[in-house]
Each structure stands twice: as structure tokens, then as C-alpha cells.
Structure 1
């Protein structure tokens, strides 16, 4: 197949990957997409591989990240999609060079994918891991492998699976062109990678995802906002009042015996954008709510501190004590909560000054200790909004002793888009990865209670006032993924570095030009035909 057709296949493969993520949720599209990408890039070399990877990335990221421009326009959306596509371009260049001999190399493809995905999750400005492959696999057998090696391991397995299928396709086409397709065809070379891919595809079914543990009652309050969009917080008092009113109605049901008493009540991010430390009205409303509940309440809010900046916080209120603990968001979102290199980016768009004050980054892990009504010790690890996508932030909370996770988020600025379902899918994967229940509460939806097997319960609709409440298990056992931490990624990086060194050293001993991309399959066919004749 000539290079132009290969580039077209890469474009199609990127579009196919969109179907793996919410709201399509066709998880099998992920390995099939990577099958096409591995097959298309094999033999292209670094330059054409780079172009193929970028085309794949654009076809994937532009539609899947369309929510990022819903209210701020096309420039930020397309800039983000293009930046993310460049990382796929790096993957295409590396694998195109490693496979320039024209043979599909499944292990090399998988290593390249997981390393470049890890790079994308860390750079620039702390990275953007939102659309990691693993986050499309909450309902698949492969997704269960997250408990063994985290999101990077799931990405590695999916890429390896895709590479194996691409190898099978290449061998099948080579045999067909050599004229050996038929009753006398040696099916072993094709069947072996297919069988290996099938084993990988179902291996996750053997991974246990226990859901036992002492239960605690949780109440998540989705108060809703006056309107969607960037100006939702122009009516900050209405947002606070909505959450107060919904909580009081929930307490009325509790007092009437229609619902159980919660051990912990959770409000979402931005439930109180009026600083409750410095504003008496907000402080009094929250205090009255906590008094009536008689139970601890976690409030997502904004604090006018430090001077000249803002803190996105989670505050723990306890009856009769007020604020007893706080967590400051550790990873503010660049270009949304703070503007890096503001003067430089102002040259491209004055919209950067919509963020008039930068948000400060918090210094420490957030774990709130609460005693339940039956004496249970609830140690709630806190993540605010996009932090759920960062492996280290979520893992740090579990390693600090969290036996349940709270994800507080506000999706009002993304309207009726796939952003909220995508985020909920990430929380589901985190539940499986760390063996923890997750209380996922949004200002506007989707909210849900998630058990440690990744099952989402009571999923709410967007832009409605709603409650999620019920019992969730508290678990202290740590998964293999928690104990390994970043080790699988570093192992993959070391293995890839070794492959690159061996490839470079091997290349210095070869003579003659490298095979052209459109000749690579013919070269493979000739070799296999020669091997059969020799046998």
C-alpha cells in the first residue's frame, strides 16, 4: 500500500478511536483503531510516521475534545487538540523508524504508545492525560487490568493487542500476495498473533475486583446552576442557595425516615464560590446546614487567598466545630485556572485575561478523617475536577491512607457535551485501579456513587438538581497498581530506550537504502516465500 493510502488509514484509525470514549462507549474500537494505526505506520520511517501520527491525533482529539471550545471558541479547542496530536506524531515517528524494515513489531508499538502517552500526561505545564486509552475501558475486560499496573498498563496491553492483530493482517496479506492462500496455506503465522491478542483481550476477566468492606452512608448533592456557560458563577449566591436547598430537602426525607442518615455529605466543586471564610452570609448558610444535618459536610469552594490569587478548595465542616480541614487543589488547570507565560499568550488572544487572578497550587495531599455514625473510620481522599485524570494525585491519596475517594467537579462550563460522561468514566477506572469506592459529585451532573468494581450507581442527568445517596464499602487493601506506582511506566521507558539503542547500532552495520514504505509488504512477502522454499 502506498504512503498516501497509509496516511488515509491513519486518519480513519483516529476517527475510529473516538467511538471508544463516551458518549459512544464502544470500547472495542480502541484496539481496532490501534490495529489500523500499527499496520499503517509500519515501514513508513520517522518522517512519514510523524505525519501519520499527527493525522491520527487530529482525527481523534478534534472531535473528542470539542467540549473544550463550547463557550470559549475554536482557538483554544483546536490549539489543545493540535498539541495533543503532536504527541501521537512523536509516537508515529518513533515506531515508523523502529519498523522501517517493513515488519510489524507489536512490542515496539506498545512500548512507544505507553511512553509517549506518559509524556503527554506530564508535559507541557503538567500535561493533559484526559483521554488516556485506559479511560475508554471502564466496561471492558481489558479495563480490569488497571488494578495490576494502572492506566499505563491498560494502554500498553491495548497497544500490544492492536500490534498483534496488525501483524496477523500483514502476514495474511503477504501469504495472499504470494499465492499461498487456500487449503495449503500455513495458518500458524497468522493464528499465533490472533490467539495471543484474544488471550490479552480476556485476561482481565481473571483479575478480582472485590467490593467487600465495612459500609458507610454517603450523600452527594448536585445543586445545579442558574445557567450553563462561563458566566454560571455570575449568580454565585444562587448556586450556593441551590445546594443548601437540596441538602435541606434531603434532610427532611431523613427526618421522615424516608432515607438513611449519611455518614458524610459531599457538595461539588464551586458549590460556594462566595468565600465562606470571609463572607458572613455564605458562612452562616453553610453553618446552619451542617447544624441541621448533624453530620460532616465537604464543601467545594473558592477562597480569596493568598493575596492577589485564588484557591480552589475542598473544606471539611463538622457540627459545632466549623472548618476542621481543607484541601487546596494541587493541579490548577493551565489556561483555565491560571495563565502560564501570560504576556506571551496574550499576543495570540486577549481571552487569557478572562482569568484575572491565577489559582494557587496546593501543597499537600487531601485526606479527610471522619467518624461515621456506627464508628466507622472514613478516610476520604479528595480530588477536584480534572485532578481525577492525573495518576499521581489519585495514587497519592490512596497511599496516604484513603479508604474512599471523593471527586468534586463542576461541569457547568462545558454545557451538554461529552465532557461530563468522559470524566465519570475516568472515576470508574480509578475505582478499579485503586480498589476504592468513589463519590463522584458534580455541580450540574453527571454525579454517581461508584463501587470498587467500577460500577456507577444512580447516574444523574445533566443540569438537574439531584441527589446520590447510599452505602459504599470502605476498603484498606491496596491493589498491585497502587504498590507499583510509576514503576510500569519507567520499565516501559527503559525497554523502549534499549530498543532504540539496538536499532541505532544495528542500522550502522546495514548497507544499502532502507526499503520504501510501499515496498515493505512485498519485501516481507519475498522473505517469507524464500523461507518456505528453503524449508
Structure 2
């Protein structure tokens, strides 16, 4: 009996579909537990393995539904912080949008795998999954409205043995490595299961099974294993450097009167908290640091226009006797406001500035406001849209008796964008520098968002070979070493002012040199696999047709019973 002759009943087909969707949803939940605050990093490849098992060999429609089930199981818990104060609709809408990218990925994977699965190149079908995962994360990190690259597989790996691979492949490469390990896990388990079932079948039938594999399959299988294990081997063999000149830095986590959307309803109090934290630190440690860093929204009163706010900032700078990098909301240009990092030097009244290049849609500006107002009046909580900066920022920090270094600011969610982080890191050129991630997590309450963002900064430290000063208005904040480690981090909604001695470095990592090459390579490889699969399938069909014609009717009938 031929395989094509075994037609499942509609009832059996429905049961199979339900089981596939359940397995896909479980895979999503498993992946969610890889992220903070659960931090079970090894569940990320397990989640990929389960999704691969759920979708392999399926048609593109069922694969897409499975991808959607995985995406909802993954994003709904991981992004639950997005609706903590604005209600369920924005949270569910965002999670569903992100899940649709997983659905599209699984549909594309099914389409590319199908021609490969019916040829001697079958092992290469599994290579489609990590390639598609890289492209899926690139797509949802750039579209729509500039994308939302949160909760990428790479960002779950801050404590993983794979983390050092970020120095070579960046976040896309690290995602590829995680997904490749997941596929390898799926293949290994599936192979063991098949052999066990075959052995039991043989025992029942009392015969020895014979299996003839095309000569190319062992070689291709070895290639697949190498693709999966090479990043792990490279990561395990790599010790990210932590050398460099140490400089003294103070960060101030001033805290807010209360969490929530109206955290800055007492804007003066938030500014005062950071001023007082700085003054107290100056008393505690008379030796001035080389730099003080305040978080995003430390001054929501424009210190360039408000004389009282300007006087408070100046008091902090002159008391601590050090340059100050602070996050402020500025009035203008025009009808807009600006989310900016201002860099003050002692003895100077004119700060340098960096304006956030990627304002967050639906949080810092509302695209198509009149349209989206039909779904939620929360859009009007953003009364004025934020302007978009047009260049990376880097500020020279003078050090008494030593060469200066540079501090490179990144504001809030910008830390999740590969190109912004890469351009910012390289902005300082060959000068020694550190990265400063200034953020405000007050609007997300006591959720996992702060820890997720801190984990992203840890991956960025490894990727760019830089120390990171990660400072939030309400926590978590901390000094991150170039190898992604940290000594301590602050608690949520607790005032803190901490001195640290991060190293300043000039290294340009392989990941920085490669830039977007991993995404380009993934796209080309995926297209090549699709083309090769279709070509090989047509070639095999011609060979089979020729063999059938030569064998005659008897041989043709005998071939039809081969599974």
C-alpha cells in the first residue's frame, strides 16, 4: 500500500491539527520562560525544538496557525507589562501583531522545506528554521512604524554559555545559534524515536529492516550539526575581554513618587530626587567621579527653558564637580517635544544634546491618531508627539590628569535596535568609550520589563565589547562589564546612587564590523535553499520518470508499494 493511499479521516485530521496547535502553544510558553524574570535560558532552544516538531511536514496553512499559537503563547506572558496601566487592548494587540510574524515565519518555513523534504537534500530542510527565525526577528524589528525588536531569542541568553557568540554574530547571530540548537535537539529526539519504533516493529515482524540512504544525506546531516554546534563551540572557547582603563562613574536612580502613567505628575519631585541623590553622593564620597549619569525623564521640566530646573541641575553639577549626563524632556522643535540626553560640563551653562532617534510609537507619538482613537481613547494620553533625532550622540568626558574618554548615550527602547546601538558605539571612533543606557521604567510598575531591558543591555555589552552604565528612574540599574557580567543591580522603586569603576575600551568587535551582514546572509541562504530544493525536486522527478519508463509496467507497479 502506498503512502498516498493512506488517507486520514476528517476526524483524525482535526485531532492532528488540534495536537499540533497545542504543542505549538506549549512551545511558546516554554520560550517565554527563557526570559526574565524566569531566566531559564535553555528553554529557548527547547521552545524552538517543540515548534519545529509541531510544524515540520505540515502544509503552510497549518504551519501558520501553529506559528500564531506559538506567538500568542510566547508574547502574551512576555509582553504582559505593556498593558499594566493602559488596559488589555494594547497588550493583546501588540502581542497578536508580534505573533503574526511568527505565523508568517512558520508559513515561509513550510513552503521552503517542502521541496527539500522530498529530495536527497532532506537534512538541509532543517537549516531553514534558524535562517527564518533571524529574518522573522529582523522583520518585526523594522516594521511597522520602525518595528519592535523586543523579546528576541538572543535577549534570553545573557546567562547562557552561548552569550559570548554575540561578539561574532551580534544579536542576529546569537538568535541563529539558539534556533539551530533547537532544531538539532528536535532532529536528535526524532531520530531516536524513529529508531526505537523501527526496532519494535522489527521485533513484531521478525525481520530485519533495510534502509538505504542517499549518499549525500550523512554529509548534509554533518553540515547541519556543524551549523548548530559551531556557535556553541566558538562561544565556549571565547572569553570576552574586560581589559581597559578604569574610570569612576556615579549613577543616580532618583525614584518617582508613584508608579504608573502619571509618574511625572510631580515632575519637580522627580527632578529633586535626582538632585538630592547626587548631593548626598558627593557628601558620601568627596572624591569626584569622572561622570554622573541620570536616567531618562530625570527632568521632565525643560532645564533649557525653566530657570528653576536649570539652577537645580547646575547645583548638582557644581557640587559633584563632574560632568553630568541627564535625561530630559525638551519643549520643541515646533509643536513637538524631544526626549533628550543633555551633557553638562562644570563651569558651562550650555549643554550638548542627543535626541532620541527612535521614539516609541503609541507611547511617544501616535501614528494615525484619529484612526486609532476609534479603538482606545488612551492615545490621547500622548498630548504632544516626540520629535525624532537624526544622528547618534557621543560626548567627550574630560578626566583630570588623564586622557579624556567618550560616553555614548542610548535612550530606553533604543537599546533593542541593532543599527542604533551599532552606530552609537562606533560614533566615538577610535576613542575610549562606554555606553550609557538611560531609561524610565516607572510606567511598567513591578513587572518583568525592567529585568528584560537589563538583560538586553548585558547582551549589548558583549556584542560591542563595552562597559554599560544602565540607569533607570526606578530601577533596575547597574554597571555591566564588557563580558555581560555585573556585580550588583538596584531594586525597583528604591532610591539609589552608586559609584562604579567601569573600563573604557576602543575595540571594534567582529559583530560591529559585520553589521547587518547576518540578516543579509540569512535571506540569501533561505532563497538559495528554496531554489535548490525546487531544482533538485524537478531533477529527481525526471530521473524517476525515466526509471519508470525503462522498468516497464511490472516494475512500475512494484515501485508504487514502496513507502
Structure 2 residue runs of 5 or longer lacking an equivalent are 1-14, 212-216, 542-558
Name the counterpart of 1:249: 280
Name the counterpart of 1:469: 499
Deviations 1:339-386, CA, capped at 9 Å, x for gaps = 011121112122111111100000110111111234232211110000
Range with greater deviation from structure 2 (448-457 or 412-421): 448-457
| 1:470/1:459 CA distance change after superposition, 3 Å | same
User: Structure 2 matches for 1:399-418, cutoff 5 A?
Assistant: 399-401=426-428, 403-418=433-448
Structure 1 contact 411–443 (Cα < 8 Å) conserved: yes
Name the counterpart of 1:91: 105
Range with greater deviation from structure 2 (61-70 or 336-345): 336-345
Secondary structure at 2:351 match in 1: strand
User: Structure 2 matches for 1:149-160, cutoff 5 A?
Assistant: 149-160=169-180
**Distance across 1 between alignment mates of 2:451 and 2:290:** 27
Structure 1 contact 298–314 (Cα < 8 Å) conserved: yes
1:530 is displaced (CA, Å) by 7.8
**Distance across 1 between alignment mates of 2:226 and 2:379:** 52
> How many residues are matched?
511
| 1:323/1:182 CA distance change after superposition, 3 Å | farther
| 1:508/1:351 CA distance change after superposition, 3 Å | farther
In structure 2, which of residues 517, 527, 531 is the aligned counterpart of residue 487 of structure 1? 517
**Distance across 2 between alignment mates of 1:182 and 1:492:** 42
User: Structure 2 matches for 1:295-374, cutoff 5 A?
Assistant: 295-374=322-401
**Distance across 1 between alignment mates of 2:307 and 2:503:** 37
User: Hey, which bits of structure 1, 4+ residues long, moved more than 4 A?
Assistant: 180-186, 191-200, 504-511
| 1:508/1:73 CA distance change after superposition, 3 Å | farther
Structure 1 contact 449–468 (Cα < 8 Å) conserved: no
Structure 2 contact 465–507 (Cα < 8 Å) conserved: yes
**Distance across 1 between alignment mates of 2:16 and 2:495:** 55
**Normalization by structure 1: what TM-score?**
0.91
**Distance across 2 between alignment mates of 1:27 and 1:428:** 14
| 1:182/1:395 CA distance change after superposition, 3 Å | farther
1:508 is displaced (CA, Å) by 6.1
| 1:263/1:467 CA distance change after superposition, 3 Å | same
Name the counterpart of 1:435: 465
Range with greater deviation from structure 2 (235-244 or 461-470): 461-470
Name the counterpart of 2:155: 135
Name the counterpart of 2:248: 217
User: Structure 2 matches for 1:46-445, cutoff 5 A?
Assistant: 46-100=60-114, 101=117, 105-179=125-199, 200-255=231-286, 260-401=287-428, 403-445=433-475
Secondary structure at 1:277 match in 2: coil
**Normalization by structure 2: what TM-score?**
0.86
1:501 is displaced (CA, Å) by 3.0
**Distance across 1 between alignment mates of 2:361 and 2:327:** 20
Secondary structure at 1:376 match in 2: strand
**Distance across 2 between alignment mates of 1:199 and 1:180:** 35
User: Which structure has the bigger radius of gyration?
Assistant: 2
**Distance across 1 between alignment mates of 2:29 and 2:202:** 34
Structure 1 contact 410–444 (Cα < 8 Å) conserved: yes
Secondary structure at 1:272 match in 2: coil
Structure 1 contact 449–469 (Cα < 8 Å) conserved: no
Name the counterpart of 2:56: 42
1:195 is displaced (CA, Å) by 8.8
Name the counterpart of 1:523: none
**Distance across 1 between alignment mates of 2:536 and 2:374:** 47
| 1:182/1:285 CA distance change after superposition, 3 Å | farther
Structure 2 contact 343–353 (Cα < 8 Å) conserved: yes
Secondary structure at 1:239 match in 2: helix
Structure 1 contact 107–160 (Cα < 8 Å) conserved: yes
**Distance across 2 between alignment mates of 1:509 and 1:77:** 49
